[in-house]
Amino acid sequence: MQPTKRLGRFTVELASPPSIIGFASVVGKKEGEGPLKNSFDRINNDTTFGEKTWEKSESRMQAETLSAALNKTSLAPGSLDYVFAGDLLNQCIGSSFAVRDMALPFYGLYGACSTMAEGLGLASMLIDGGFANHTTAITSSHFASAERQYRMPLEYGGQRTPTAQWTATAAGCCILSSEGNGPYITHVCTGQIIDLGVKDSNHMGAAMAPAAYETLSALFKETGLAPTDFDLILTGDLASFGAQILRDMFQLDGIDLGPNYHDCGVLLYDAKKQDVHAGGSGCGCSASVLCGHILNGMKDGTWNKVLFAGTGALMSPLSVQQGETIPCICHAVVISNTKKEGA
């Protein structure tokens, strides 16, 4: 017996697609100087967010993002039935410290930069499954806390390679509801771990692109939808090299992702002027691009059907030191202004 909502190995179609009733993004100074600066709810030029450590700054940013998203709804914080949150910090302290005072049912996630898509998928399924009326997916990353943990303290002034990505100081939050006027999450495609042997943690786009290819291929196959059925296909965060690799992989299948394909890591910064090398990364990169530029654009009709595919590299500094390759994953959701196909 195949569950009725299941279209295939990786994709489910939601019977009662939840509506995104509130969303918000909060970013740092550099992100606020980029091409999407007008799409964020708040740009904080003080990237300490008034805190004494970068980790606490990230938690503060994530908490402010949740508050900003809630403020766009009529909901009291206590109305949230489930919070799905995660970040890049060891033991995910960016998230657990952000919401520890809110007394909300909490599920901690770890999906690296795919966490926003992972959270949206689970938050949507718990509403569609009749377990909740209101859920939220939230995630964050902070350049300084990430550099310290993954690479080296900022004070060291480490060199970066051309393929390296810039961890965004950013957070994004979506509030989902069983009722609302959209945009709606209509499909959830859960990723599998893909590891094709890339070892260079300064070339994560190359490591993650095959995971994005597998997830998008599965979604196209299982839904019967083609790239041309979407106004926008958005990966996060393959950046410039990874996005081209993804296009090339689909070209080998005779599929052109076309002009509607973009990547959050490419969109967030002006690569020429902002010295981010390949582009942005970090849980907050795709989250802040989605919860600003993209959802604003869906609200004003710029896009009506978006395929949002969060990509994550699941290595750790220690696994890299131990000579391991980089396992990656990509989770995708279909976001549409139409609740049901043909409706």
Q: Which two tokens stand for residue 239?
A: 């950046």
Shorter beta-carbon distance to a copy of itself: residue 36 or 175: 175
Name the segment binding a copy of itself (CB under 8 A); options: 22-30, 200-208, 282-290, 320-328: 320-328
Among 55, 58, 222, 237, binds a copy of itself (CB under 8 A): 55
Of the candidates 326, 306, 307, the one whose C-alpha atom is nearest the C-alpha of residue 318 is 326
Q: Is 45 exposed, middle or buried (0-12, 13-18, 19+ CB in 10 A)?
A: exposed
Residues with Cβ within 8 Å of residue 173, at least 6 apart in sequence: 22, 23, 24, 25, 62, 65, 66, 68, 69, 136, 137, 138, 287, 291
Contact between 74 and a copy of itself per CB under 8 A: no
Number of residues that bind a copy of itself (CB under 8 A): 68
Shorter beta-carbon distance to a copy of itself: residue 9 or 37: 9
Shorter beta-carbon distance to a copy of itself: residue 12 or 173: 12
CB of 286 to a copy of itself, least distance (A): 16
Contact between 53 and a copy of itself per CB under 8 A: yes
Contact between 93 and a copy of itself per CB under 8 A: yes
Among 259, 322, 342, 343, binds a copy of itself (CB under 8 A): 322
- The terminus-to-terminus CA distance of the chain in angstroms comes to 28
Contact between 2 and a copy of itself per CB under 8 A: yes
Shorter beta-carbon distance to a copy of itself: residue 8 or 158: 8
Other CB atoms within 10 Å distance of the CB of residue 215: 28
For residues 324 and 315, is the Cβ–Cβ distance under 8 A? yes
Among 144, 278, 298, 329, binds a copy of itself (CB under 8 A): 329
Between CA 280 and CA 165 the distance in angstroms is 5
Of the candidates 299, 59, 315, 65, the one whose C-alpha atom is nearest the C-alpha of residue 208 is 315
Name the segment binding a copy of itself (CB under 8 A); options: 31-39, 62-70, 96-104, 232-240: 96-104
Residues with Cβ within 8 Å of residue 106, at least 6 apart in sequence: 82, 83, 85, 96, 99
Contact between 34 and a copy of itself per CB under 8 A: no
Between CA 304 and CA 279 the distance in angstroms is 26
Residue 13's H or E segment, with its range, is strand 11-13
Shorter beta-carbon distance to a copy of itself: residue 162 or 317: 317
Contact between 220 and a copy of itself per CB under 8 A: no
**234-293 positions binding a copy of itself, by CB under 8 A:** none
CB of 130 to a copy of itself, least distance (A): 5
Of the candidates 229, 300, 274, the one whose C-alpha atom is nearest the C-alpha of residue 27 is 274
Shorter beta-carbon distance to a copy of itself: residue 133 or 244: 133
CB of 311 to a copy of itself, least distance (A): 13
For residues 320 and 203, is the Cβ–Cβ distance under 8 A? no
Contact between 152 and a copy of itself per CB under 8 A: no
Contact between 76 and a copy of itself per CB under 8 A: no
Binding mask 102-141 for a copy of itself (x = CB under 8 A): xxxxxxxxxxx-----x---x--xx-xxxxxx--------
For residues 135 and 80, is the Cβ–Cβ distance under 8 A? yes
Residue 331's H or E segment, with its range, is strand 328-336
Contact between 193 and a copy of itself per CB under 8 A: yes
| Residues engaged in binding a copy of itself (CB under 8 A) | 1-6, 9-10, 12, 15, 52-53, 55-56, 78, 81-82, 86, 88-93, 96-97, 99-112, 118, 122, 125-126, 128-133, 178-179, 190-195, 314-319, 322, 324, 327, 329
